[in-house]
Amino acid sequence: MNVGPQSPTHNMTDTKTPARAAPLVAVKGMNDILPPESARWEWFEDKVRSLMARYGYANIRTPIVEPTALFVRGLGEVTDIVEKEMYSFEDSMNGDRLTLRPEATAGIVRAVIEHNALYNGPLRVWSNVALFRHERPQKGRYRQFHQIDAEALGHPGPDVDAELILMCRTLLRELGLVEGRDVRLEINSLGQPEERAQHRAALVAHFERHAEVLDEDARRRLHSNPLRILDSKNPAMQAVVEAAPKLMDFLGAASLAHLAGVRAALDGAGLPYRINPRLVRGMDYYNLTVFEWITDHLGAQGTVCGGGRYDGLIEQLGGKPAPAVGWGMGIERMLLLLEALGRQGTTAAPDVYAVVPAAEAMAAALPCCEALRAAGVSVLMHAAGKDGWGGLKSQFKKADASGARHALIFGADELARGEVAVKPLREAGATQHTRALAEVANWAASLRNA
Ligand code: ATP
Ligand code: MG
């Protein structure tokens, strides 16, 4: 058979075999999420929505595309994201430089400034975002990925820092994960810009003394962004990285007090954590508190959630100075972790599968299914496929596979009497019975799953 673009001339002249185009595939590193996998996403997102409501975080939605300058200014020019991971392009209409958002915070801060949203006081917001980074795709690392993002703007902390961390713990618990065992918390303080400047000078001096072991990346960053060298994963540099001066030793009284405040709150809540003086985050905007939730079950992609304080960012992006703190949680990684630990979440089974043996039954089946749905019963109604209605046996197989608790059978005999048969599919010993179609409102609720 001739398919695809290889033989266009032949296809154009051959009237018997219609031309079929070669199928297109998704962009590398960008995934489709189909059922039943999508049900796990919805299950996760439902948990998040309920969590945010209980913590008083309101939903915010900002555009996927932003001016490139937002991320260059917000994240810092010498970061992995800005240097090599952004999907940037020119708007063909007007030449504007645009970027698919690689992270959530900068866009949210832009929106908050643009709409003067801190005018009436602090703001707690969350978002479910698709993000884009041109990374090497692998398990837990994609070019389009998704995050739950939470931000508290206008609070100096450390109380709200702790609240955000504890909010993560609550979510982890509600997903069936145990903190300290399945996922552990690491925190650090990045201090303030002046303290970092002193540390940075000491760091440059240290790395200059060991210039011979630095790789190309590190050498390039030595004077532009030496802090990022600490983030290097190059094994040949680990010893020199280990021996580097620690920022913690350069922190002043106020920064240390802030960290102590976060620690006291976490200790008070009984949440174990490790102080990791090497913890630096991928964006330049962080100060004071930074933290990560890490798992040992996902190999190199072990960070499932990361965040911290960014008191300078709002001003840096042109807003009235205000402190802020937030985190981002990778949805794919969380779902991979839950899968690795055998916690799959619920799959969405309908309450009822409607068995419709033939086209003649539709006149009764359709309004009955509509009435059930209006009464809150979820109904998966059998519909004809390309080969017709399918026999009863195959419909019952589908009813069973759907996970529905009941089958409703719109058989001709029952319909002639104004009735429908109800067959319990999951309870051993329960027997089939009939119900009057005219009274569906009275028995609908009995089909709803508890
Ligand atoms: P990593 O060190 O793994 O690259 P990161 O520091 O770049 O992570 P952030 O930008 O802080 O990550 O994003 C927070 C979370 O988003 C990460 O902890 C992770 O769960 C998720 N994440 C980041 N990049 C990706 C990606 N390319 N694919 C899937 N999830 C990602
Ligand atoms: Mg990264």
Question: Mean pLDDT over all residues of the chain?
Answer: 93
DSSP secondary-structure letter at 191? -
pLDDT class of 10 with cuts at 50, 70, 90: very low
345 CB under 6 A from ligand 1? no
Distance CA 210, CA 204 (A): 10
Ligand closest to the CA atom of residue 141? 1
Please tell me which residue, 290 or 230, carries the higher pLDDT value. 290
pLDDT class of 285 with cuts at 50, 70, 90: confident
Cross-strand bridge partners of residue 324:
153
Distance CA 310, CA 325 (A): 6
131 CB under 6 A from ligand 1? no
Size (the chain), residues: 450
pLDDT value, residue 15: 58
105 CB under 6 A from ligand 1? no
Nearest CA to ligand 1 atom 9: 306
Alpha-carbon distances, residue 425 vs 141, 270, 384, 422 (angstroms): 41, 45, 22, 9
Contacts 24+ apart (CB under 8 A), 82-88: 84/134, 85/133, 85/134, 85/135, 86/132, 86/133, 86/134, 87/132, 87/133, 87/134
- CA-wise closest residue to 361 among 397, 418, 406, 415: 415
Ligand closest to the CA atom of residue 301? 1
Sequence spans of domains, the chain: 37-191+251-340, 352-447
DSSP secondary-structure letter at 269? T
Q: Which of 19-28, 189-198, 273-282, 378-387 has the lowest mean pLDDT?
A: 273-282
Q: How far is the CA of 215 from the centre of ligand 1 (A)?
A: 24
Average pLDDT rounded to a whole number, residues 234-244: 92
Please provide the DSSP assignment of 94-138 as one string.
T--EEEE-S-SHHHHHHHHHHTTTTTTS-EEEEEEEEEE-----B
Which CATH superfamily is 37-191+251-340 part of? Bira Bifunctional Protein; Domain 2 (3.30.930.10)
Average pLDDT rounded to a whole number, residues 400-426: 96
Does the pLDDT of residue 8 top 70, yes or no? no
Cα 50 vs. chain centroid, distance in angstroms?
15
pLDDT value, residue 450: 63
* Number of neighbouring beta carbons within 10 Å of residue 25: 7
103 CB under 6 A from ligand 1? yes
Does the pLDDT of residue 61 top 50, yes or no? yes
Q: 147 by DSSP, 3-state: which?
A: strand
Does the pLDDT of residue 442 top 90, yes or no? yes
Cα 405 vs. chain centroid, distance in angstroms?
31
Please tell me which residue, 267 or 282, carries the higher pLDDT value. 267
pLDDT value, residue 449: 74
The minimum-distance atom of ligand 1 relative to the CA of 303 is: 18
Does the pLDDT of residue 31 top 90, yes or no? yes
Stated pTM of the model? 0.88
Distance CA 51, CA 48 (A): 5
Distance CA 448, CA 445 (A): 5
Alpha-carbon distances, residue 301 vs 31, 47, 179 (angstroms): 17, 23, 18
Q: How far is the CA of 145 from the centre of ligand 1 (A)?
A: 9
**pLDDT tens digits for range 108-146:** 999 999 999 999 999 999 999 999 999 999 999 999 999
The minimum-distance atom of ligand 1 relative to the CA of 292 is: 18
pLDDT value, residue 225: 81
Helices (H) and strands (E) in the chain, counts: 16, 16
Average pLDDT rounded to a whole number, residues 82-99: 97
Token pair 């962009």: residue: 27
Nearest CA to ligand 1 atom 21: 330
Q: Which of 189-203, 221-235, 358-372 has the lowest mean pLDDT?
A: 221-235
Distance CA 10, CA 253 (A): 80
Q: How far is the CA of 291 from the centre of ligand 2 (A)?
A: 15
Average pLDDT rounded to a whole number, residues 290-304: 95
Q: Which of 247-256, 273-282, 343-352 has the lowest mean pLDDT?
A: 343-352
Distance CA 73, CA 71 (A): 5
Strands of the sheet containing 87-90, edge to edge, are: 65-67, 97-100, 87-90
pLDDT class of 230 with cuts at 50, 70, 90: confident
Q: How far is the CA of 282 from the centre of ligand 2 (A)?
A: 7
Does the pLDDT of residue 438 top 90, yes or no? yes
Q: Which of 138, 147, 304 to mutate to test the pocket of ligand 1 (most atoms within 8 A of CB)?
A: 147
pLDDT value, residue 6: 46
pLDDT value, residue 241: 92
Distance CA 434, CA 231 (A): 68
Cis peptide bond upstream of 272, omega within 30 = no
pLDDT value, residue 223: 87
The minimum-distance atom of ligand 1 relative to the CA of 329 is: 15
Does the pLDDT of residue 4 top 60, yes or no? no
pLDDT class of 3 with cuts at 50, 70, 90: very low
The minimum-distance atom of ligand 1 relative to the CA of 282 is: 6
**pLDDT tens digits for range 414-429:** 999 999 999 999 988 8
Architecture of domain 352-447: 3-Layer(aba) Sandwich (3.40)
pLDDT class of 14 with cuts at 50, 70, 90: low
Nearest CA to ligand 1 atom 26: 141
Q: How far is the CA of 41 from the centre of ligand 2 (A)?
A: 22
Average pLDDT rounded to a whole number, residues 431-446: 94
Q: Which of 147, 303, 310 to mutate to test the pocket of ligand 1 (most atoms within 8 A of CB)?
A: 303
Q: How far is the CA of 382 from the centre of ligand 2 (A)?
A: 46
221 CB under 6 A from ligand 1? no
Give the amino acid at 161.
D
**pLDDT tens digits for range 327-383:** 999 999 999 999 999 987 776 789 999 999 999 999 999 999 999 999 999 999 999
